Amino acid sequence: DQQVKQNSPSLSVQEGRISILNCDYTNSMFDYFLWYKKYPAEGPTFLISISSIKDKNEDGRFTVFLNKSAKHLSLHIVPSQPGDSAVYFCAAPAGGTSYGKLTFGQGTILTVHP
Amino acid sequence: NAGVMQNPRHLVRRRGQEARLRCSPMKGHSHVYWYRQLPEEGLKFMVYLQKENIIDESGMPKERFSAEFPKEGPSILRIQQVVRGDSAAYFCASSPQTGPNTEAFFGQGTRLTVV
């Protein structure tokens, strides 16, 4: 049962344009969401998060939008840079008070072309 | 402040051997989580430990896999009698506490190859 889904395995964007990565979830109990970025041969790095009491959270070039009714969130990167090329995972804490027990999506490979 | 340290980075084992993966959490972190990433898939939670205690092992395979986080020393993920299907990247994460706005920090992972 894939409770967090990233249906686009890959995304290719030109440098300077907007990258939009999408994520859907099925568990209505999820109340906090995180985006992680992962380079090859490295561990995931926390990027940005959003609580379900908000519909938007912004940090520099990164903005996450949450649509609770649609059980959908998206990560916007503007402007995209070649260094943003990585795998992006959305994740949600699996319940309880432990925010280290996460349910991850399958990931989206972002490639930003110069 | 060093990050989460995992070793070895790469581990090759023959079928039937034992694999031991180590994880030293960030300084001051007492919560450790292990994840496995199979090829072409996302990370899957395996086990959550605090010092000397297994809190949640709902993601651990029922056989051959065990984990510990002793009072002194790193957390260990042990896989006995490895099979080819155990080949994956294993990531450890740590956090100082649990609850809201407490993100976990990941190590660089151990890539296990079973030949």
Residues of B in contact with A34 (CB under 8 A): 103
Question: Phi, psi (5° rounding) for residue B12?
Answer: -115, 130
Q: For residue B100, name the pLDDT band (cuts at 50, 70, 90).
A: low
Cα A90 from Cα A73, distance rounded (Å):
9
Judging contacts by C-beta atoms under 8 Å, the chain B residues touching residue A36 are 106
CB contact under 8 A, A99 and B100: yes
Residue B77 CA to residue B68 CA, distance in Å, equals 7
pLDDT at A96 (0 to 100): 57
Q: Give the number of beta-carbon pairs within 8 Å between A and B.
A: 74
Which positions ≥6 away from B34 have C-beta within 8 Å?
Answer: B23, B45, B46, B47, B49, B67, B75, B77, B90, B91, B92, B93
User: Do the chains contact at A100 and B93, CB–CB below 8 Å?
Assistant: yes
Report, in this order, helix, strand and coil percent for chain B, each rounded to 5: 5, 50, 50
Tokens at A37, concatenated: 């970025």
Q: Are the CB atoms for A74 and A64 separated by under 8 Å? A: yes
Q: How far is A114 from chain B (nearest CA, A)?
A: 26
Which one of A6, A49, A105 has the shortest CB-CB distance to B103? A49
Note whether B7 and B108 are within 8 A (CB): no
Q: What is the pLDDT of residues B11-61, one digit of tens each?
A: 999 999 999 999 999 998 889 999 999 987 889 999 999 988 999 999 999
